[in-house]
Each structure stands twice: as structure tokens, then as C-alpha cells.
Amino acid sequence: MKLFGLELGWAQKDASLTIDQLITRLEAVYETAAGIAVSPDTALQSSTVQAVVRTIGGRLATLPIHVMQKTTSKGRETKEKLPNHPVQRLLDAPNDYQTKVEFWLDGASWLLRYGNFYGFKARGVTGPVRRLEALKPSVVEPEQLNDLRIQYRVNTVTGQKVYQADQMLHARLASSDGVCGDSPVMMGRQAIALEIAAEKFGASFFGNGAVPALIFQYAANFTGHRNDSDRTKFVEDLQAAFTGRGRFRGMLLPKGIEMPRDPMALDNNKAQFLETRKYQRTVIAGFFGVPPQFVGDLDRATFNNAEQQSIDFVGNVMLPIVRIFEAALEESLLTPEDRAGGVIIRFNIDGALRGDFLTRQQGLKIQREAGVVSPNDWREQEGMNPRTDPGGDEYWDQGPSGQNSGAAGNNGDKAPALSGANGGSRNGN
């Protein structure tokens, strides 16, 4: 059995390893130079990793996902939603214990932390996939056989099970072996460990009232404690009584022990404590390809570029993650007949690309005048119900300059003629 990268047999584990030894070895696998064990699970102790997972996962989970069919109309490609397709019903309700929002929150989190997302395809009696059971990546081990087929070993509470590729949904990031995605957490664990260590230091330092370490000394002609036990007991009693909530209480030292007038100084400015924390945010965000402002580093963000940064985030960060899931879903859930017939699966990221209200309306106005959208298209993008009159679905052919609308003979949505300064039309006709 392979557990956390260690090959362990049950007989060997029972015979030679205690549970404490096993835990120690597992921690050693993830030990870093900072003295912090970092794994895809413990990485969430990092505020930056938490922000990355929450930012990307929250946006992905709220995106609508549709099964559509590509067709050709008048020589142009169109896409038609298929609300009754079995895969659409599956994506709307993946299983019995997760909503689709929860499913994609977990999916994005696991993909970002482990580099892989696995889902077991539970089939019904008649054959189609009825449920997608999300599997934690730490219990799944993909392997490539001699004939190049991929199979998956899954460790469950009842033992290990082996599933074939057609039984699993597997989405992954870039891989070093072509089979299992590389974990951004494990690639950047030293940087993550440094941030966690800095945060723990800050919590401990300020939890002690920002009081530097105290070093006591024996008074002149004092021989000190009688033995090591007395010295250890003195230090432990002092820490128990005057640290934590008791750090501002009065202190009476035993006879013969003195406190130096100049305690050990600790200058956080020289240690660049704040600079270290800021820099680590930027470095960790870079491992995930996320702009720093989305993990709380607002030094380079302004009101003028905030909207453009949000659009860049969708295009440069969200779009690759969305495409990874779309490709895996199409390969795993659609039949060869579906794919040959032009059936595709798409997240709708248009809503995430929406600008502010004024910019959005200006863009739609340009499209309306160019004959790209109709009034009902405009209203649909703004989440409004369509118009009930016939003019709601008409298009302008050449803009609002007095030309006929797209539907000849129907003036329900004809653009008004604009008069020039001499009382004639803008075209001079």
C-alpha cells in the first residue's frame, strides 16, 4: 500500500512501526527548511493558499455550466443548449450529498492543492452515469500499465479497489510523468512553510504582549540552583505564571536571581517581518498564477485598474482552470456519438467578464447600433425578461440613421430617423 508517497505493507507496518513512528515518518516526508510540515491538506494554514483556493473555487462554483450542441445555421456555427441531456441532469445534481456548488468548490480546491481531481462514475442499471462521487486525491493513485492503459488504485475503508479509466473522471494540472498532475503546493512548499512560520512567530510574539525574551542571571556570590531539576522547575513555573494571560502580572524573583536592566531587544523592522510576509504572499500567488491583489496585496492596485485586473484574472487564471474541467468532462462523460454530433460542455464565464454598469451599457449600445444584438438580447444579458411586443427580437441593419430594421415591413422596432441641422436626414436623403 502506498500512503503519502511511502510504500507500506500492512505486515511491515504492524511488525516494525508504532503509530507515533508512522506519524513521524509521514511528517518527515513534508518537512521543510522552515521546520513546518507542508502538505496539500496543511497548506490551508497559509492565508495566501486559503485566499487562492477561495477566490478561484468561489468563482468557478458560481458559474453556470451547460451541455450544448454545435450546429450550423446559414453557414455559421451556432450553439444550442440541451437541458434534457443526461449529462446536463448529472451536472445539475452530481450526487446525493453535494449540491453542484459544493461539488465544484471541492473540485477546484483539490485541483489547486493536489494538482488532480477525481470523480468515480457510478452507473445506473441501464448504463448511463447516474452519480459523480468526488474522491479525495490523497486516496487515489493513478498508474500507467505496460500497454499504456491508465488505471486507478483507490484506498477505501474496506480496502483497496482498482478502477479502469472509463470508470473515473480525472482532471489534472500539468504533469511531470504524463499521468498524475503536479501539486502546486508541493512545488512551492518551502515558500508556504515560510509564510506559516512567520505567521506563527507573529502570533506567538504578540500573544506574549510583544515582550522580548528574558534572560535571568545569578547574583554575585550566588551558587545557583542545586540541580537541573530545580532550575527547570523555576523556568517552567515562571512561564506558567507570567506568560499568556498573566504576562502583565507582578513578578517576585527568588533571592539570588536577577533580571538584567536591558532585556534582549528584538527589532522587527530590522528583521523585515512585514516585508517578509508581503513578499511571501506575492511568491505563493505566483505559484498559482494569481495576481497579488486577489490574495490581499493591494500595493499595486488602484481604482483605475481594478476593473481591468478583474477581467485579466478571468482570462488568465479562471479560463485555464475552466478549460481543464471542460476537457475532462467532455472526454469522460460524453459518448463518442455525442462528441461526433457536436455536443460540448461549457462553463458560462460571460458573467464573470462583466464590467461596471456604465461600461457594460456603452458596449451593448455599440452592438445594438451595429445590428449585433436585439433589444431582447440586451435585456437577457442584463437579467431582464424579454419584451412582449414583436419589436423585441428585431435587429438594426445599419445603425440608428433612419435605415430599415432587420425585419422588412415591420416598423415595431424601427430606429428613429435623426435629423441634421438643415432639417434633412443625417444621410442628406
Quick check: 63 pLDDT over 80?
yes
Query: Where in the chain are the domains?
Result: 1-30, 39-208+268-355, 213-264, 357-410
DSSP of 345-397? EEE--TGGG---HHHHHHHHHHHHHTTS--HHHHHHHTT-PPPSSGGGG--BS
Q: What is the pLDDT of residues 253-266, one digit of tens each?
A: 776 777 666 655 55
DSSP of 161-192? EEEEGGGEEEEE--BSSSSSBPPHHHHTHHHH
Q: What are the grid coordinates assigned to 61, written together?
A: 462554483
State residue 20's pLDDT score. Answer: 55
Whole-angstrom distance, CA of residue 154 vs CA of residue 150: 13
Pick from 6-10, 236-240, 335-339, 356-360: least confident: 6-10
The DSSP symbol for 197 reads H
The DSSP symbol for 98 reads -
The number of angstroms, rounded, from the C-alpha of 129 to the middle of its chain's C-alpha atoms is 27
State mean pLDDT over 415-421: 43
Whole-angstrom distance, CA of residue 373 vs CA of residue 375: 7
Quick check: 242 pLDDT over 80?
no
Quick check: 417 pLDDT over 60?
no
Backbone angles phi, psi at 168, to 5 degrees: -125, 145
What residue has cell string 437541458? 83
State the angle between helix axes of 100-114 and 319-333 in degrees (0 to 180), rounded to the nearest 10: 110
Pick from 66-75, 95-104, 227-236, 339-348: least confident: 227-236
State mean pLDDT over 183-190: 89
Whole-angstrom distance, CA of residue 165 vs CA of residue 147: 13
Q: What is the pLDDT of residues 378-398, one digit of tens each?
A: 888 887 888 888 888 888 876
Pick from 37-41, 90-94, 214-218, 323-327: least confident: 214-218
What's the whole-model pTM score?
A: 0.71
The number of angstroms, rounded, from the C-alpha of 213 to the middle of its chain's C-alpha atoms is 40
Q: What are the grid coordinates assigned to 267, written together?
A: 527589532
